[in-house]
Each structure stands twice: as C-alpha cells, then as structure tokens.
Homo-oligomer: A and B are copies of this chain.
Amino acid sequence: MAEEGFLTRKFGEGVENYYAGSPLNRLAFLRTNHTYLSTALQHPSTRFILLNNLDPLASTPSTLAFLSYSDISDLIANPYATSEQQLLQTFTSTVDHPVLIFLGIDESAAPEHSIPTPDNKYTGQAYFSLDVTPYPSKSYASTATSLLLTIKSSYPTHEFKTARKDLNLGNEHAAIYASARSLTNWNVTAPYCAGCGQKTMSVNAGAKRACPALDGGVETRKCGSREGVHNINFPRTDPSVIMAVISSDGTKILLGRQKRWPKYWHSTLAGFLEPGESIEEAVRREVWEESGVTVGRVIIHSSQPWPFPASLMIGAIGEAIPGKEDIYLGNDPELEGARWFGFEEVKEALAVTTGGLYDPLPEGYKEGMLRLPPKTAIANQLIRAVVLGEVHLAKI
C-alpha cells in the first residue's frame, strides 16, 4: 500500500471528545496523604457529587448538583482521620464503607474556596464523589437510606438522573462524572481480590484496592498482590477500538448497525482490544470479524473515556485493501448489517439526522434517510473527520 499514498492529517487543538476534558487536577501523588485529604474533605467549599446506583445527583439535566461535607458527614465521618497504613492494620471485612473518591481540585476556583497542597505549590477547590446507594447487604444501609431522605427534603429539586437517558451534562460536568462513575463502579463490582478471593479495601482515595494482610486482627491468606509488580488491585480500564473505515478508492465509508438500534441508524464498527494486540491490529481484526472487510493502513485519531462501565474508546481511521472490500456478516453475529456509504449521503445525514439512539426523529428527517450518532459519540467525530476531509487519502 505504501506506493499508493499516505494519510495526512491536520491538527489544531485536537478533538476533545465528550467525557474527556475534565477541569480537575487529579493530584494523583497526594492520594495517600491523609492529612491533605482530611483537610480537603472537611473544607466548607469542597464539593461532593453523589451517586445512587451510579446515577448522579443533578440540579438540572445538564448540571450536576454539588453538596457540602456537612450534607453528607453522617454517612462517612472522616475516613482520612488516620493513615492508610493504620486503616490496613485495622481492616475488618464485616464493616462496610461507602465508596468515597477524591477526584481532584479545580485550580480556577476563587481563593476563598481553595485549599493549598502541603508544599503550597498548588491551590484549588476540592471535589469528591460519594456512593450513597443503600445496598441492602451493606452495614451502612440504614444510614444511607436516611441520608437520601434528608437530601430529598433539603434539596427538593435535585434528582438522581440516569446518564444517556435523563442527563445531558455539559462537557466539564460530563468529564467529572465519567471519572466518578468508572471508579465507583469498579470499587462496587470488584470488592474481592482476584488473586486470593478475600475482601479488599478501597485505598489511595478510591483509586486502588488493597488486599489486607489482616482481617479483624486475624492474619489472612498469603496474596501475590501484596508484593512486586502486579496489576490486579488497580482499577481496570478496558481499551476498545472504534473505527471509520474508508474504501480503497477514498469515496465511501463503512458503517454497520446492530439489531436493537432504530431503523436506518448506523455507526462505525467497534470492539474490545484483546491481550497481546496493538490498537492497529485490533482495528483490523474487529473490522474483519464483523464485516469481512480487510483493512491495511490504520491511524489513530483521538480517544474518549466511556464510563459504561470502564472503557477507553480509541478512535481510528482505517483504509480498506483493494479487492478485499466485500461485506460478509457470517463470522460474527455482532452486526445485523454493514454497508459502504458514499460521502455525500453521509454528509447529508450529518447535517440533518444525528442524535441519540432514543431521541425523537429530527426535524427534516425523511423516511429512509441514514441516521447517525450524536456529536457526543466519538463515532460522530470519526465519521466527520473522514467525510468532511479532516483526514484524507493523498497520493504520493
């Protein structure tokens, strides 16, 4: 293929996809500093996002509601009152704690809302998320239930709203929610050590789980996760690839559809990357498995955190190999259909029909028109990049 051309791409600021672009500095290196976290937690200006079954408390469909420490301290007191090392020593698996995550600081906040880091180098307003779900099996269930009632009466207009259904968050709030949702979900769904099967404890301000050597003062099983290099007690992020494939003549784009999608709705192909694969290989494998088309050159366009539950969408542009562009759906039942669409048809759809899967039909829509995902989906950005010429094939 090298003889035929090369892909060129222009970059300005780059694409910032929805769920990316957090205004917060994570200050990852302070996650074990309980003195700092303790101050941050209890500062009157510190903001708390509440999650109930992963739905965030929102003041409007586009705005998260932020509560204060005094609103939620009944449920958590101060988990940073002693050091992480001391907490590991006194771990007792029968006592449950709601998932609390330090999300970072907003350095653009006014000085009166800000706290300094221990070295006085950085200052900002602190953000945490707290899981207030009253899981019946947890030892704090009744306290969580009471808290939910109090919040309902104190803030009658706030509501827990479901992402991708009732919410349409602005970019910055979406990005803050993305981190809170992924990390909370991981802490909640993976409470046992995959290495030894024992209960683990949330540490590093919610960004890691540790397998304690003691439970209620009694020594637990030996566990490999306590020594050396390992990954099992760190939160997982699942890389997946999503790709706009251009026909070898540079005039068509490959789109597919799943059975459960509304009529005429299509999107780019996508799938999870597998162990031992590069992104480029995963793009080629997924396209071949799902559509039968063979892809040669691949470039990586941009990425998007996708907190449902913990994916990283890696957006790519691929070029089909001449003579290997026939659609075949028989390998994999993933797609109901896949088709090559001419750029003009796609441009018209971009102008008229984009929208969420469950949105009503847009104004001006005519039966039979191709429907495409909204701008908040990286698929839309990839399709746009290809058919509007941001990425194009050039001969050399």
Assess A234 versus B230: contact at CB under 8 Å? Given A20-B278, A281-B21. Answer: no
Q: Is the CB of B312 within 8 A of A273?
A: yes
Q: Is A119 in the interface zone, CB < 8 Å from B?
A: yes
Tell which of A14, A21, A276, A312 has the most Cβ of chain B within 10 Å: A276
A193 contacts B by Cβ under 8 Å: yes
Please name the residue on chain B nearest to A13 by beta carbon: B2
Q: Of B179, B195, B278, which one neighbours A190 at CB under 8 angstroms?
A: B195
- Taking CB atoms, residues of chain B closer than 8 Å to A289 are 28-29
Bound-state CA distance A300–B299 (Å) is 8
Q: Is A232 an interface residue (CB 8 A)?
A: yes
Flag whether A310 is at the interface (Cβ < 8 A): yes
Minimum CB distance partner of A182 in chain B: B275
B194 touches A277 (CB 8 A): no
Contact with B along A189-214 (1 / 0, CB 8 A): 11111111111000000010000000
- Report A247-287 residues with CB < 8 Å from chain B CB: 272-281, 285
Decide: B234 and A272 in contact? CB cutoff 8 A.
Answer: yes
Given contacts A13-B297, A299-B11, contact A234 B238 (CB under 8 A): yes
User: Is the CB–CB distance between A231 and B310 below 8 Å?
Assistant: yes
List the B side residues contacting A310 at CB < 8 Å: 231, 275
Q: How far is the CB of A354 from chain B (nearest CB, A)?
A: 21
A190 / chain B contacts, CB cutoff of 8 Å: 194-195, 232
| A229 / chain B contacts, CB cutoff of 8 Å | 308-309
Q: Does A7 contact B (CB under 8 A)?
A: yes
A224 partner residues in chain B, CB cutoff 8 A: 189
Number of chain A interface residues as a range: 35 or more
A12 an interface residue at 8 Å Cβ cutoff?
yes
The minimal Cβ–Cβ distance linking A229 to chain B, given in whole angstroms, is 8
In the complex, which residue of chain B has the Cβ closest to the Cβ of A200? B194
Residues 233-252 of A contacting B (Cβ, < 8 Å): 234-239
Decide if A78 is an interface residue (CB 8 Å cutoff). no
B297 near A278 (CB under 8 angstroms)? no
A280 to B189, CA, bound (A): 27
Closest CB of chain B to A360's CB: distance in Å?
A: 26
User: Nearest Cβ in chain B — how far from A246, in angstroms?
Assistant: 12
Contact of A275 among B186, B232, B276, B303 (CB under 8 A): B186
* Distance, CA A7 to CA B127, complexed state (A): 35
**A295-326, CB under 8 A of B: which get 1 and which 0?**
01111111111011110101000000000000
Q: Is the CB of A298 within 8 A of B14?
A: yes
- The answer, yes or no, to whether A180 is at the interface (CB within 8 Å) is yes
Known: A183-B275, A197-B192. A280 touches B309 (CB 8 A): no
CA of A58 to CA of B382 in the docked complex: distance in angstroms?
Answer: 43
A274 and B237 in contact (CB under 8 A), knowing A197-B198, A198-B197? yes
Interface of A with B (CB < 8 Å)? 1-2, 6-14, 16-17, 19-22, 26, 28-29, 119, 121, 175, 178-183, 186, 189-199, 207, 224, 229-232, 234-239, 272-281, 285, 289, 296-305, 307-310, 312, 314, 330-332, 396
Q: List 7 A-B contacts (CB under 8 A).
A: A175-B276, A186-B275, A189-B194, A189-B230, A197-B198, A207-B274, A280-B303
